[in-house]
Amino acid sequence: MSEFRIHHDVNELLSLLQVRGGDGAEGYIDLLQKHRTPYVTTTVSAHSAKVKLAEFSKTPEDFLRKYDELKSKNVRNLDPLVYLLSKLCEDKEMLQCLQQNAKERSESSASANSTTTSSYTLPQTSTKMSMQELDELRKKLGNVTASSNAPLPAEVTRKMLRDKHNKKNPTQPNPVFPNWVYDRPALIGDFIISPTPAGDPAASVGTLPLSTQEQFVVEDLLFVLVGVDGRDITAQPVLGRQNRSFIVDATLDMSVKELVNRILPVASYYSTITRFIEEKSSFEYGQVNHALTAAMRTLMKEYLILVTQLEHLQRQGLLSLQKLWFYIQPTMRTMEILASIASSLDKGECMGGSTLSLLHDRTFNYTGDSQAQELCLYLTKAASVPYFEILEKWIYRGIIKDPYSEFMVEEHELQKEKIQEDYNDKYWDQRYTIVQHRIPSFLQKMADKILSTGKYLNVVRECGRDVTCPDAKEVLYTLKERAYVEQIEKSYNYASKVLLDFLMEEKELVSRLRSIKHYFLMDKGDFFVHFMDLTEEELKKPVDDIVPPRLEALLELALRMSTANTDPFKDDLKIDLMPHDVITQLLRVLAIETKQEKAIINAEPTDGVLSGLEAFSFDYIVKWPLSLIINRKALTRYQMLFRHMFYCKHVERLLCNVWISSKDFKQYSLPSAKWFATAFALRQRMLNFVQNIQYYMMFEVMEPTWHVMENNLKMASNIDDVLCHHTSFLDNCLKDCMLTNPELLRIFSKLMSVCVMFTGCMQRFTQSLRLERLSQEQEMMDEPPAQSDQAESETKRPTTKFLSEHADALQSNAGIEATISKFDSNFGLLLLDLLDKLSIYSTNDCEHSMISIIYRLDFNGFYTERLERMAVERNQKAAA
């Protein structure tokens, strides 16, 4: 189960239980992920849990009846649910909490109902209902309830299944039986219920001698056993999935009637089986049910042969009622099992894998009864043949041919080209998916491998290569699961090796990942120096004023001028201008499924114009099948890391430019030397912070994590392992670079903003110093020798014009000193806050990699005392 699914389920449960406060869903999710264990269903555990719940229930009979009903319908995950409920019954504290919660919810709903229905009153009746009227009302209500619970008519169900199939496969419509097959009831082997023809009433059979009664009853039973009404034994009409019942002449002798009632269940079984065969043999119910009904027909032929032989004996006068009972007894057990299976499959509306699950469970449960187990084994083998044919094509060739939607793997129409366009298009996860209720119970453990095997072969097939497993053998059903498990294992190993070799060797996956690392993780230092020098002026412009082709040309030039020129995949690198800055993008991602999501989505866009540098990012062209690994989701994560580091590099360059532009003024003994020294010290602290953060991200997070991923890729045995290692690499990089924690991200964003604003102010201060120095030089300038007025005016005009244009840039020393002091204070507080939060997360969440940031930024213990003081204050508040 994915983390988002757990998050959703926990939120739903909290809202249902009306739980407020605490750590919210996040706290419970962490506990669930740390302590969850797989539940392995066994017959013993399921039975003991069922018994425990029945003992705990106030109405154990109703509970057991409902359990058997759900079990007969082949409801999935019933046993794990019962096991969970039995564990809840053992926890008294949990029970009290649930009871209290139920009481509060019932009271709140009662109060809500009282407020909404207080304005309505029942009309008073002037007369009371008589008993006859009450009985009639009760019958009507019973009929309404029965009709609402009754299953849909067979023709309606067939039409629904046909429409569903035709909608999914419009080019391959379902074959349909002609209407006369259903319009002629005489073609069906079941009873035809018709009104009794008018005529002379027949003499009562009870008035005849006992021997004559027996002859008439034997003749009637032989008719009833093949679905035809007799003279004194007639079938009752059935509603829905009820069992057939019969009316026996009440005047029959008691001894004869007793034997008749013993034999009649066989006729009821025959009716149930015949109705099932006639209904489920239609094409709409799938190949598995069709194969099962064909096997049942074979068994029913043997039964009809037996009845024919008994009729032959009856014509010869050699068949008594006792002999009929003797001959029919061996068949009764077979008919009972077949009718039970037919009834369960009908109630559960089983198709495909669910049919095989029920048959397998029946076969397994009849261990000890060799005859019953052999019968169920025969039916399961026959029904599994079409299912295993679909399975063989999937695991041996990667092809699904499932016209009736019976197979456990379902194909969805997704285009592989969109995998590079849409962030949410999860091709690998959603093109082929497992449908839980179609998995036969004997293949449950192998379901994931079956899915992966076909997916691996399908990827290679879509690349134009025909692949077939060399160890392909026919898969047959057997009670010894190891037989077909071995076949699935062999095909899985072959498919894994074929796809992995195809991606690693022919498509050079590792080389591609290294190429992406060069650019997105800033591995090529000289390339970025060239690139940032070339694009500095262009990226300063607003994003709407930037010409993308010009950036592409500068990128091409930087690639050719640096060591990146040796990269064979450099032409796949592209420029991308994003609609948001990196901090906004990250906060939007982190706000998913939280209370802040609506606030961020509904927030008005900022008034500031996005600069090219804030919107800049790289993109990378990846073609099929490498796009399975380097998909849009992975590329977006690479872009987040790149934009974060690129912005840090930009801030570092701004701080270095401040040093370059200001170093000339160190030689002057200016009256503003005090604030100038403070500014230089602050600039050095900021530069130290940015450089150490960059060093930490590149050499303590990305490089070690990259080497771990490379080693894991060498040992990967299938493509799922490659996907897992690659995703884990990106997740670890994002987490250790503080990009998955909104609190740390906001503090870091503020620190970067302070640095950028400081560099802007320093550039303005430096410019004002130049102007001040220039004005001083002009005042101290000696009078020039006497010359013409025109020459004098030409000498002074440029200086005067320059000063008049930049007069607003000149500021007082006091104002500059206050501004620098404010920057110093803000930067110090934010840095202290960052170090404090890092110490908390590194201790509480065991994020030990973040401790190295603290050691680097607090290398001389300057912040240690203040951090310890903040920790003490925090503990005191928590204790209070």
**615 within a domain of the structure (yes/no):** no
> How far, CA to CA in Å, does 164 sit from each of 160, 170, 279, 405?
6, 10, 18, 10
**313 within a domain of the structure (yes/no):** yes
Q: Which residues contact 312 (CB under 8 A, 6 or more apart)?
A: none
- Cα torsion through 221, 223, 224, 226, rounded to 10: 130
**618 within a domain of the structure (yes/no):** no
Please indicate, yes or no, whether residues 673 and 817 belong to a single structural domain of this protein: yes
Tokens of 310: 């008994």
Query: For 105-201, where are the E strands, in sequence order?
Result: none
Residue 337, pLDDT > 50, answer yes
Alpha carbons 418 and 427: distance in angstroms, whole number: 8
Q: Which of 61, 95, 129 is the last residue of a domain?
A: 95
Please indicate, yes or no, whether residues 644 and 720 belong to a single structural domain of this protein: yes
Tokens of 490: 């062999």
Alpha carbons 216 and 231: distance in angstroms, whole number: 8
Higher per-residue confidence, 817 vs 444: 444
Residue 818, pLDDT > 50, answer yes
Alpha carbons 841 and 851: distance in angstroms, whole number: 9
pLDDT of residue 633: 83
Res. 137 pLDDT band, cuts 50 70 90: low
User: What's the domain count of the chain?
Assistant: 5
Please indicate, yes or no, whether residues 640 and 500 belong to a single structural domain of this protein: no
One-letter amino acid for residue 813 of the chain: N
State if pTM tops 0.85. no
Strand-pair category, 409-411 with 432-434:
antiparallel
Residue pair 708/668 in contact by the 8 Å Cβ criterion: no
Residue pair 59/68 in contact by the 8 Å Cβ criterion: no
If you write DSSP's letter for every residue of 97-129 in order, what string do you get?
HHHHHHHHHHHHHHHHHHHHHTT--PPPPSSPP
Alpha carbons 296 and 376: distance in angstroms, whole number: 11
Tokens of 607: 């008034």
Strand-pair category, 233-235 with 246-248:
antiparallel
pLDDT of residue 280: 84
* HSE of 608, CA atoms in CB hemisphere, 13 A: 8
Alpha carbons 78 and 64: distance in angstroms, whole number: 13
Judged by DSSP in three states, 337 sits in helix
Closest CA to 852 of 737, 684, 729, 712: 737
**708 within a domain of the structure (yes/no):** yes
Closest CA to 374 of 295, 429, 279: 295
pLDDT of residue 160: 66
Is the torsion defined by CA of 668, 669, 671, 674 positive or negative? Answer: positive
Alpha carbons 654 and 686: distance in angstroms, whole number: 11
Q: Which of 506, 522, 543 is the last residue of a domain?
A: 506
Question: Which of 48-57, 641-650, 813-822 has the weakest average pLDDT?
Answer: 813-822
749 C-beta neighbours (distance < 10 Å), count: 18
Average pLDDT, the chain: 76
One-letter amino acid for residue 70 of the chain: L
**373 within a domain of the structure (yes/no):** no
Please indicate, yes or no, whether residues 304 and 393 belong to a single structural domain of this protein: no
Alpha carbons 446 and 489: distance in angstroms, whole number: 9
- Helix ranges, 348-401 (H): 353-365, 370-397
Residue 3, pLDDT > 80, answer no
Range of the domain at 322: 174-193+206-349
pLDDT of residue 803: 37
Tokens of 317: 């006068």
pLDDT of residue 711: 92
If you write DSSP's letter for every residue of 717-749 in order, what string do you get?
-SHHHHHHHHHHHHHHHHHHTT-S-HHHHHHHH
- What's the DSSP call for residue 542? B
pLDDT tens digits, one per residue of 201-244: 456 766 777 778 888 888 888 888 888 888 888 888 877 667 88
Q: Which residues contact 235 (CB under 8 A, 6 or more apart)?
A: 191, 193, 224, 229, 244, 245, 246, 247, 267, 271
Indicate the helix (H) or strand (E) that contains 617. Answer: strand 616-620
Please indicate, yes or no, whether residues 840 and 866 belong to a single structural domain of this protein: yes
pLDDT of residue 709: 92
**755 within a domain of the structure (yes/no):** yes
Q: Mean pLDDT highest for which of 159-163, 667-671, 828-832?
A: 828-832
Please indicate, yes or no, whether residues 277 and 342 belong to a single structural domain of this protein: yes
Question: Which of 254-268, 643-657, 760-774 has the weakest average pLDDT?
Answer: 760-774
Paired strand residues for 616? 577
Please indicate, yes or no, whether residues 246 and 387 belong to a single structural domain of this protein: no
Residue 378, pLDDT > 90, answer yes
Paired strand residues for 247? 234
**489 within a domain of the structure (yes/no):** yes
Residue 716, pLDDT > 70, answer yes
pLDDT of residue 663: 67
Judged by DSSP in three states, 248 sits in strand
Residue 706, pLDDT > 90, answer yes
Q: What is the Cα gyration radius of the chain?
A: 41
Closest CA to 570 of 631, 528, 519: 519
748 C-beta neighbours (distance < 10 Å), count: 21
pLDDT tens digits, one per residue of 291-314: 999 999 999 899 889 989 988 988
Indicate the helix (H) or strand (E) that contains 491. Answer: helix 482-501
Q: In angstroms, how far is CA 457 from the centroid of its own chain?
A: 23
- Cα torsion through 769, 773, 776, 781, rounded to 10: -160
Q: Which residues contact 876 (CB under 8 A, 6 or more apart)?
A: none
Tokens of 603: 């927030």
The answer to whether the peptide bond before residue 440 is cis (omega within 30 degrees of 0) is no
φ/ψ of 404, rounded to 5, equals: -115, 15
What b-and-e string marks burial along 707-720, b requiring 16 or more CB atoms within 10 Å of the CB?
eebeebbeebebbe
Residue 707, pLDDT > 90, answer yes
Please indicate, yes or no, whether residues 735 and 765 belong to a single structural domain of this protein: yes
Residue 650, pLDDT > 80, answer yes
Higher per-residue confidence, 837 vs 424: 837
Tokens of 406: 């019976």
Q: Which of 349, 366, 400 is the last residue of a domain?
A: 349
Burial of 507 (0-12, 13-18, 19+ CB in 10 A): middle
One-letter amino acid for residue 257 of the chain: K
Q: Mean pLDDT highest for which of 81-95, 145-159, 809-823?
A: 81-95
Indicate the helix (H) or strand (E) that contains 577. Answer: strand 573-577
Please indicate, yes or no, whether residues 64 and 1 belong to a single structural domain of this protein: no
Question: Over pLDDT 90: what percentage of the chain?
Answer: 6
Please indicate, yes or no, whether residues 212 and 278 belong to a single structural domain of this protein: yes
Query: For 111-252, where are the E strands, in sequence order?
Result: 233-235, 246-248
Over residues 80-101, the mean pLDDT reads: 80
Q: In angstroms, how far is CA 184 from the centroid of its own chain?
A: 49
Please indicate, yes or no, whether residues 90 and 184 belong to a single structural domain of this protein: no
**162 within a domain of the structure (yes/no):** no
- Cα torsion through 142, 145, 147, 151, rounded to 10: -130
pLDDT of residue 285: 82
Burial of 2 (0-12, 13-18, 19+ CB in 10 A): exposed
pLDDT of residue 807: 38
Higher per-residue confidence, 845 vs 119: 845
Over residues 73-80, the mean pLDDT reads: 71
Angle at 513 between CA 510 and CA 517, to 5 degrees: 135
Please indicate, yes or no, whether residues 240 and 256 belong to a single structural domain of this protein: yes
